[in-house]
Structure 1
Amino acid sequence: MTQNTKSTHITAVGENVFADLGFSPKEAAALQAKSKRIISEKLAIKESLMAELSSWIDEKKLKQHDAAIILGITRPRVSDVVHKKTVKFTIDSLVDMLARTGKRVELAIR
């Protein structure tokens, strides 16, 4: 059996994927705005968690190799944390790393 893997349409960067999916212009704009807000909120959470991990590494004066052992990740992953490469991590993995430092993450919903 042969599968068709050829793309028939690609939404250009900066365009509205919801409009391309057939939503009305008004609904597509609303969905895109909501999507951007959710992504922005998640990135802010990740950046906050990464900042806390970076501060912990600095406070303890750890080399990345030593931090990697404690955090249960590789040295290059520590570098990714320090340089806030948010797309490489889930919120869950960052919370797990903070737990390994002895810190607790508390959630506040407003």
Structure 2
Amino acid sequence: MTRQRFSSVWDAISDTPQEAENMKARAVLMRAINDRLDEFDWSQSTAGANLGLTQPRVSDLRRGKLGKFSLDALMDIAKKVGLTVELKITVDEKCGA
């Protein structure tokens, strides 16, 4: 059995490089949102009321349930907690296109 090396856990668990990049972006965004929620010290019900989410949805966010949130949904939540997202695009030299 040979061992594979991956750049990140997302690369290891994703079926495609595209899925891995999406998961990486969602994870970074979710972490930043949770950091802001920690700063606000809101209860889950208060966070839900302020963000237009149900308490169970806030619970999923706080527990890092990445698969339950699209990148679009996380972008919307980020804006509501005062975060601005900057996108950095680089060329992947390994891409054969």
The TM-score range, normalised by the shorter chain, is: 0.7 to 0.9
Query: Which of 63, 66, 72 is residue 86 of structure 1 equivalent to?
Result: 66
**1: distance between equivalents of 2:77 and 2:87?**
16
How far apart are 1:63 and its partner, in Å? 0.5
- Aligned positions of 1:25-36 closer than 5 A: 35-36=15-16
Residue of structure 2 equivalent to 1:42: 22
Deviating beyond 2 angstroms after TM superposition, the runs of 4 or more aligned structure 1 residues are none
- Distance across 1 between alignment mates of 2:17 and 2:30: 20
Q: Distance in 2 between matches of 1:75 and 1:52?
A: 19
TM-score normalised to structure 2 length: 0.73
Structure of greater relative contact order (alpha carbons < 8 Å, 6+ residues apart): 2
Cα deviation 1:3-40 (Å, max 9, x = unaligned): xxxxxxxxxxxxxxxxxxxxxxxxxxxxxxxx521111
Count matched residues: 77
- Whose Rg is larger? 1
Cα RMSD, aligned residues only: 1.5
AA aligned to 2:79 is A
SS at match of 1:84: coil
Name stretches of at least 5 consecutive residues in structure 1 with no aligned partner.
1-34
Letter in 2 for 1:55: D
